[in-house]
Structure 1
Amino acid sequence: MDKGYIVPEAALKKLRAAKGLGQAVYIYGATGYGKTELVKQYLSKRRYLYISCAEDSAGLLEAAQEEGKGKEAETRTVAAVDDLHLLKDAEGRRAVLSLIKRRDVWLILICRSPIPVWLMPPYVGGGLLVITEDDLRLKEKEIAAYIKSQGLDITEGELAFVTQRSRGNAYIVRHTALKMLEGLRPGSKLEQEIGEAFAGYLESHVMVQWDSDLLEFLMQVSVADEFTLPFAEMITGNCHAPELLERAVETGNFLSCKDGVYRLRPQLIRALRRRAAKEYSPRERAGHVYNAGLYYEMQGQIVPALAMFEQCGNKERIRELLIRNARLNPGNGHYFELRHYYLQMKEEEVEESPVLMAGMSMLYSLLLQEKESEYWYKKLEGFASAAKGGRRREAVSRLAYLDIALPHRGSADMIGIMKKMPALIFDKGMSLPEFSVTSNCPSTMNGGKDFCHWSREDRKLAATIGKLVERVLGRYGKGLVKAALGESLYEKGEDIYEVLTLLARAKMEAEGGGMAELAFAAVGLQVRLDTLQGQIQTAGEVLASFEKNVIEQGAVQLLPNIAALRCRLALYQGNREAVLAWMGQAPDEDKEFCILERYRYLTKVRCYLSLGKYLKAQALLEKLRYYAEKCGRTYIRMEVCLLSAIAKYRTGGEWKGEFFPMLREACGYHFIRLVSEEGAAAQELFAAAGKSLLEKEVMDKAWLSRLMEETGKVAVRYPAYLKGRLAEAPDFCEAALSILRLQAEGKSASQIAGELSMKEATVKYHVKENYRKLGVCGKADAVLTARDLGIL
């Protein structure tokens, strides 16, 4: 580093504190974080002993054997031991431990790795003050000062880019400044150049210090960004992998481990791959990649397995995996994630396999491209009519599966389809492929398909066609009828004890040889019921218990929607921190829209509403509306209309055109909980509409009265649910604020109009808008809320 290098303040403070206490210091961080430069600058005006374990480890022994010269702070010998990660002999390590204990020596240890095992005794005993890599990171202010010291100007956006991409690494910041002096500005091109240069530096100055067996091991595992011990053993075939990983951790702070998963830093991965390209032939490197693919395949991780087989050019393996994935239902398979592999296959390749043809039909349906889906369905039909034996049976069973499961076909003809199944399955000895009733959503009536229309005759259908459905679906349908009937009764607000009985039995049937997804549907309904009754803590405990069982059973496909359901509980509790944490892992609808994520998307809409991001909520709702219309999803369409009405009402848009048709349709099904579960958010709309208009729009007065009563109870139980961002002064124009101030003085609308020289109608408009923004219904509440928020 040059004289322009700026010492990170956090590290400097710790170094000064250690000097005052006479406490030994351990400084660690990856290459380029300025560890040595920090010490040299701090000690630049002092005499000190510098020992590098890379060049003169013998000096350690001399320093340890030297007699003490004093005990006072001003007479202590200052010793800096650098490159400690290279100190491997026992004698040298004993010398360091001896120096740490010496009161006449102030010792500074510089290393690339966190505290090694052999230094744990003095560390645990309080003999070491540790300066971490985080302490060494240059902060944005320090980076700005350094760049300015080099005579350079930088914009705020460029500074943020450099800070984020460099992660405060002094070497990268220095290199950035040099490139800027050459005329490059911070951006992708500069980042690429520096990344290549840094990888070259690591290759030529850092990796050359490693033992050959360690370097060879890391080059081989670098085919993946992260790996486990079994993974490393599979790729390398090295029985000493545990020992090598231990050595790698001690060699430098570039390898981290969490929950058994090792991760290499991106810069080192690039350097290792560069070196591997020189050391190994293309065939040898392809072998390492192929082994990685096999490991992923054995673990059932099809997406990374395919990426590895694509990288090593093994097309036959790719085809085999795509067929295997196509045998899974969309809830367990990876159709959407693997779509580019399927779509790049040649048509003649697909036509050779009935499983692939069925998979293509399902994939296109998931992509909302019904014409292409039906094209492959017809292709499969043609194959079935010409094929014989096992291949014909496979094709016919796939056609039967698609008849039931294709999303774009909806569920209108489902009873007729189900009645034909026994003759096909039982009489002809065929079986349905793997099936998903719920698509991993906590619902059966609104799961893989929408069955709102069945709800009108729920008890009759459960008693008649119920047994047939369960018989056709086999273990995939265990508990289905009871769960579906329980959900229908719940939605209509019928006897909670009957609902609980049905859900409990459905769960037991699903757990007794059925599918975990159906148990989740029952548990999800129980969680909703507990929440509705005000027992939200019980709801959380029920969900946590079920999640634990799911993890033990390995049904990991349910975990994302379990987390979404937990987020919905957090919304009821007004737990903003939990909501924001979930949003960090929620699917990004702007990057890609996948219909299998609909439950998480609808959860995300509610999060947007609670955070006051109404335009984001509306944009996502329009995508969900398009999906609901294309695939005949009645319940989701009604849900979208309700949430859209809430968003539009809060932004002053036309909301009644969404709200009233939704109410009339929900009334037609006698659904209560679709609306009442939205509590305070729906209550806003009822209050804004007024009782007389509601009764005019909805003919069933008894249903409406019951709905409004239950919605009011939920609003009282969960006042913070979807509350939205609190209003702030900038949300109000000067006229609106003036009206609020005069209302606070007790003046009427006509008096305010006269004082402000406004029309009374204008005053009333502003009053109404003020109430909406403050989330209140009257003058007294408006004034109190505005004062609480500091607006008045």
Structure 2
Amino acid sequence: MGDSASVIIKPSLKEIFLTGWEHCRVILFSAPCGCGKTTTATALLAGHTVCALSAADAEFLPGNIPPDCDAVLVDNLQVLLEPERREALCNLIRSRDDLHFVLLGRGAVPGWLMPFQFAGVLLTIESQALFFDRATAQRMLEDRGIAVSPGDMSAIQRDFKGYPIAMDILCRKLKNGGAYSEDILNSAKRELFIYFDEAVYRRFDAPLQRLLVSLAPFESFHLELAKMVSGDPRAGELLGIIQRDTTMLLFDGLDTYHFWPIFRVFLMWELHQKLTDAEQRSLYSRAALYHELHDEPDKALECYSLAGEQGKVSALLVKNAEQHPGVGRYHQLQNYYFALPDDEILKSPALMCGMSMLTSLCLDYEASERWYAALQDYAARLKKTDSEYKTVQGKLAYLDIALPQRGSKGLIEVIGSVFRVMTDKQLKVPAFSVTSTLPSIMNGGKDFCEWSKKDDLLYATMKRPVETVLGRDGVGLADCAICESKFEKGEDMSKRLLTLMSRLGEIQARGTSDIEFAVVGLLARVQVSQGKARAALEAIESLREKFLDTGQARFSPNIDAMLCRIHLRLGDTDAARAWLREKAPKNDARLWAMWRYQYLTRAMVQILEGECDNALLLLARLKPYCEHCGRVMDGIHIRLLSALCMERAGDAEWKIELCGALDTCREYQFIWPMAQYGAAILPLLGACGWDADAAYLDTLVAATRAQAVEYPRFLKQEVQPMEPLSAAETQVLKLLCQNLSNQEIGEILGIKLPTVKTHVSRILQKLGVSRRSEARAAADKLRLI
């Protein structure tokens, strides 16, 4: 990689080294081959008198270190296997406190060096510190006489990520001029892979080579998977050798690993060269079986598809289709369902039923009804004596009740249908999803707002039949539903809540996790309404931990969304932003009905962030779903949030949305759905002009004001900078936040360097910060870009 005099060293790496030199006597460079350890260390030691040794030499550690040297450089540390030679090096380090030792190895810190690390004598510099940042990579190109455009520089950094040897190869490819291109990228990759083949892969023995190639397709893998796909019972021992001698294999946790990304791409290249098509299919088939046995159907389907085993793909999809949406992984597997040929689906009642439900959850009701009709046609061709008759009729009955577009009109009839279907011994009905993993029964798998109008009557008459017929799914259901109904109407439900909480242990022991989430979720909402949001946060966090410990991660997305809503009330905007950034569902081309609670939470955070246009776009896409499927409660929230967005955008039609929400709340005598928005909605209630029921409005305003007192900053936008940024300053800020230098910003915007510096100075002043890194943090917090 060039002689030390011309070596480009990242400033932060130099700073780390010099600080380590000052405070530690031993510095270990621990990084894969090609990271430039030797070249970099030699350059950093320029000016010192160095005794250079290699652990690969037979005469390693001769008896005398030259008296005039102040540093010992030891290369190839990973091959130092003999205990006596290791101990000789350790004794030298202990006895010669007048020397600095710079050690270069491909593996992690070996156990025999850890005592020095624990004593604070040893500093480890890992691969990421050796990788070039954008500025250092550009200096390397310029040092070699290569000029690239800012756009090409961005592409180079994206493709090579500052990997030193790859940058060295690229420099030679670009030496003759010409722009960076896909051909140059592929040529550089090929040369890099040839280097890996010689420097790493061929140095392993045959069993280890086979293991590496077998594991190449997997982004991460467990030791058990390694044994299964390779067929080698020594897989664990071999992985240990890789970890000892290289840093190409990274440790994720107990017996779980992943390859260094660049090395994994190389291994895939080796796989396609070393294994025949049949051998590759066999490898994927074994991996698919592993994932199927470990209840990972999405990974199993991917591997079965790569193995060309379409029959097993279909069998897995049929198995999943037999489950209701609260348990079945319809969203994860939807691409596999949509890829099935129609004629294959039409042969299977389970697939037709599953496709009717799946397309409905994707808000494609026309397709859902088409698959429902296909199942009806299939049923019409059966005789009552046919073995499939009961099963197919049961699936039709299930869809009649469970399909979202069937809604909840004529609730008594719907409940009666459930009982008849569940007790009809002539039918085999799939299990129902009562809550769809949501923290609610009234607004779970079905919208039961109509039930709320006659909640006392229905509770008295239907409680026992519901719990009898639904079995485990019915334990606590009626008590939770009546409490939820009273709570939404702002009625006193303290005694009922005590009764419900007294049954929580029974629900946990004899019922289902779905009802448990609904009960704990209701308790948390009651606590929030009482100003006890922190207690609610603890309750939901505790439930989340319990569900994860018991392997029920299916609840996590909605639990995380509920935690986000509580954080919003507590004013913890950083936690809300983190949820939006890391866990919120995207506003994708295909919305997913079961994520509506998360979509509404996303809209809340966007409103807080001032992204009202984006929130309105999302809410607009959810409106047809609520109208088509009779989702009363969701419709109230959509209209309320839309009114907030429109009012903040200066659109006078916010009054129409808010008055519409008020009309619906009054019809059902709901208080909490609107009152919970507290300070955000309170000013609008007095300005919207709604006068349909003065007494009801007074009650609602009082409840809303109580929430405003408890959470005065809920959904309130944060104060923007005292002085707004100009258009030019906003452009500069965007580029600054992409880590571009002043010179690069000037090149892109076509302005001189002093002008860029002036803009940067004014940006820092307006944001009240003193460093560029602080400006990026402030811009992110204030959502300026």
TM exceeding 0.5: yes
Residue 772 of structure 1 is matched in structure 2 by none
Deviation of 1:576 after TM superposition, in Å, equals 2.1
Q: CA deviation at 1:612?
A: 1.7
Name the CA shift for 1:701/1:177 in 2 (closer, same or farther; >3 Å): farther
For the pair 1:699 / 2:699, whether they are aligned, the reply is no
CA distance in 2, matches of 1:191, 1:478: 62
Q: Which amino acid aligns with 1:463?
A: A
| Aligned partners of 1:342 and 1:360 also within 8 Å | yes
Q: Decide whether the 8 Å contact of 1:490 with 1:499 is kept in 2.
A: no
The 1:19/1:509 distance shift into structure 2, 3 A limit, reads closer
Q: Is the Cα contact below 8 Å between 2:284 and 2:306 reproduced in 1?
A: yes
Distance 1:615 1:310, change over 3 A: same
Shift of 1:572: 0.9
Shift of 1:126: 2.2
Task: Kindly indicate whether the alpha-carbon contact (under 8 Å) linking 2:558 and 2:597 is maintained by their aligned counterparts in 1.
Answer: yes
Mean CA deviation greater in 658-667 or 259-268: 259-268
Residue pair 1:489, 1:499 contacting (<8 A) in 2 also: no
SS at match of 2:329: coil
Moved more, 629-638 or 601-610: 629-638
Letter in 2 for 1:323: V
Q: 1:491 aligns with which of 488, 492, 498?
A: 488
Evaluate the alpha carbon distance shift between residue 610 and residue 15 of structure 1 in structure 2; reply closer, same or farther with a 3 A threshold: same
Secondary structure in structure 1 of the residue aligned to 2:60: helix
- The yes-or-no answer on 1:148 pairing with 2:142 is yes
Corresponding letter in the other structure for 1:580: R
Could you say which residue in structure 2 is the equivalent of 1:774? none
1:536 positional shift: 1.4
- Of 8, 33, 36, the match for 1:6: 8
Q: Choose from 542, 563, 573 the match for 2:560.
A: 563
Instruction: Give the match's secondary structure for 1:107.
Output: strand
2:241 is the counterpart of 1:247: yes
Partner of 1:322: 317
1:461 is aligned to 2:461: no
Residue 734 (structure 2) aligns with:
none
- For residues 97 and 359 of structure 2, the distance between their equivalents in structure 1, rounded to whole angstroms, comes to 74
Note the alpha carbon deviations across 1:459-509, whole angstroms, 9 max, x for none. 112222344444443322322222111111111111140352354256445
Map 1:351-390; keep pairs closer than 5 Å: 351-387=346-382, 388-390=385-387
Query: What is the one-letter code of the residue matched to 1:631?
Result: C
Q: 1:610 to 1:30 in 2, by over 3 A?
A: farther
* Cα separation, 1, equivalents of 2:299 and 2:190: 25
- Alpha-carbon contact 1:480-1:506 (below 8 Å) kept: no
Find out whether 1:665 has 2:664 as its counterpart. Answer: yes
- Determine which of 98, 105, 110 is the counterpart of 2:104: 110
State the partner residue of 2:202: 208
| Distance verdict in 2 for CA 1:22–1:657, change over 3 Å | closer
- TM-score with structure 2 length normalisation? 0.86
8 Å contact from structure 2 (residues 7, 43) kept in 1: no
Alpha-carbon distance change, 350 to 698 in structure 1, aligned in 2, over 3 angstroms: same
Please give the per-residue CA displacement for 1:163-189, whole angstroms capped at 9, x wherever unaligned. Answer: 454333222333444455556656777
- What residue is the counterpart of 1:750 in the other structure? none
Report sequence identity in percent: 31
SS at match of 1:262: strand
Provide the rounded CA distance (Å) in 2 between the counterparts of 1:84 and 1:211.
19
**Contact 1:179-1:190 within 8 A present in 2 as well:** yes
**2:69 aligns with one of 65, 76, 80:** 76
Secondary structure, in 3 states, of the residue corresponding to 2:657?
helix
Q: 1:757-776 alignment to 2 at 5 Å? A: none
Task: Give the whole-Å Cα distance in 1 for the aligned partners of 2:23 and 2:542.
Answer: 50
**Is 1:174 matched up with 2:172?**
no
CA deviation digits over 1:117-165, x for unaligned, max 9?
A: 2221222122212222232232233223223333444455544444454
Q: Is the 8 A contact 1:30 1:112 kept in 2?
A: yes
Shift of 1:374: 1.7
Deviation string, structure 1 residues 90-142 (Cα, Å, up to 9, x no partner): 23322332332233543211112321222212221222122222322322332
AA matched with 1:288? L
Aligned pair count reads: 720
CA contact (8 A) 2:479 2:496 kept: no
Is residue 2:528 matched to residue 1:531?
A: yes
Shift of 1:2: 2.9
Report the 3-state secondary structure (helix = DSSP H, G, I; strand = E; otherwise coil) of the residue aligned with 1:337: helix
Q: Quick one: distance in 2 between partners of 1:733 and 1:509?
A: 62
In structure 1, list runs of 5 or more residues that go unmatched: 735-788
Residue of structure 1 aligned with 2:308, choices 310, 313, 319: 313
Checking the alignment, whether the CA contact within 8 Å between 1:203 and 1:272 is kept in structure 2 is no
CA contact (8 A) 1:487 1:499 kept: no
Looking at structure 1, the residues matched to 97 and 327 of structure 2 have their Cα atoms a distance apart, in angstroms, of: 64
**Residue 595 of structure 2 corresponds to which residue in structure 1?**
597
In 2, the alpha carbon distance for the partners of 1:195 and 1:504 equals 62
Gap change, CA 1:22 and 1:552, over 3 Å in 2:
closer
Aligned residue for 2:330, secondary structure, equals coil
Selected match of 1:543 from 540, 544, 563: 540
Question: Are the equivalent residues in 1 in contact too, given 2:146–2:177 (CA < 8 A)?
Answer: no
**Corresponding residue for 1:587?**
585
Q: Secondary structure in 1 aligned to 2:267?
A: helix
Report the aligned-residue RMSD. 2.6
Separation in structure 1 between the aligned mates of residue 267 and residue 261 of structure 2, nearest angstrom: 10
2:677 — aligned with what? Answer: 678
Whether contact under 8 Å (1:76, 1:106) holds in the other structure is no
Distance 1:47 1:213, change over 3 A: farther
Q: Secondary structure at the match of 2:563?
A: helix
Contact 1:678-1:711 at 8 Å conserved across structures: yes
- Whole-Å Cα distance in 2 between the matches of residues 323 and 555 of structure 1? 22
Q: Secondary structure at the match of 2:104?
A: strand
Stretches of 4+ aligned residues off by more than 6 angstroms: none
Q: Note the C-alpha offset of 1:539.
A: 0.8
2:226 to 229, 232, 249: 232
Aligned to 2:388: 391
- Structure 2 SS opposite 1:60: coil
1:586-626, Cα deviation, whole Å (9 max, x unpaired): 22223642222111111111111122222221121112223
Alignment partner of 1:256 out of 237, 250, 257: 250
Partner of 2:79 in structure 1? 86
What SS does the aligned partner of 1:465 have?
helix
Aligned residue number for residue 291 of structure 1: 286
Q: State whether residues 361 and 373 of structure 1, in contact with CA within 8 Å, keep that contact through their aligned partners in structure 2.
A: yes
Q: Secondary structure at the match of 1:336?
A: helix
Q: CA offset at residue 642 of structure 1?
A: 0.5
Q: Which of these residues, 634, 637, 649, is aligned with residue 639 of structure 1? A: 637
Q: How much does 1:190 deviate? A: 5.8
Runs (5+) with no aligned partner, structure 2: 728-781
Is contact 1:293–1:308 with CA below 8 Å preserved after alignment? yes
Contact 1:411 1:450 in 2 (8 A): yes
The normalised TM-score by structure 1 is: 0.86
Question: Partner of 1:135: helix, strand, or coil?
Answer: helix
Partner in structure 2 of residue 222 of structure 1: 216
> Quick one: distance in 1 between partners of 2:288 and 2:365?
33
Q: Deviation at 1:195?
A: 4.3
Q: Are the aligned partners of 1:49 and 1:80 in contact in 2 as well (CA < 8 Å)?
A: yes
Q: Are positions 1:97 and 2:90 aligned together?
A: yes
Query: Structure 1 527/90 Cα, relative in aligned 2: closer, same or farther at 3 Å?
Result: same
C-alpha distance in structure 2 between counterparts of 1:255 and 1:149, whole Å: 33
Tell me the alpha carbon deviations over residues 329-364 of structure 1, each in whole angstroms, 9 at most, x when there is no partner.
112212223222222222332222211111111112
By how many angstroms is 1:557 displaced?
0.5
Indicate yes or no: 2:428 matched with 1:428: no
**What corresponds to 1:781 in structure 2?**
none
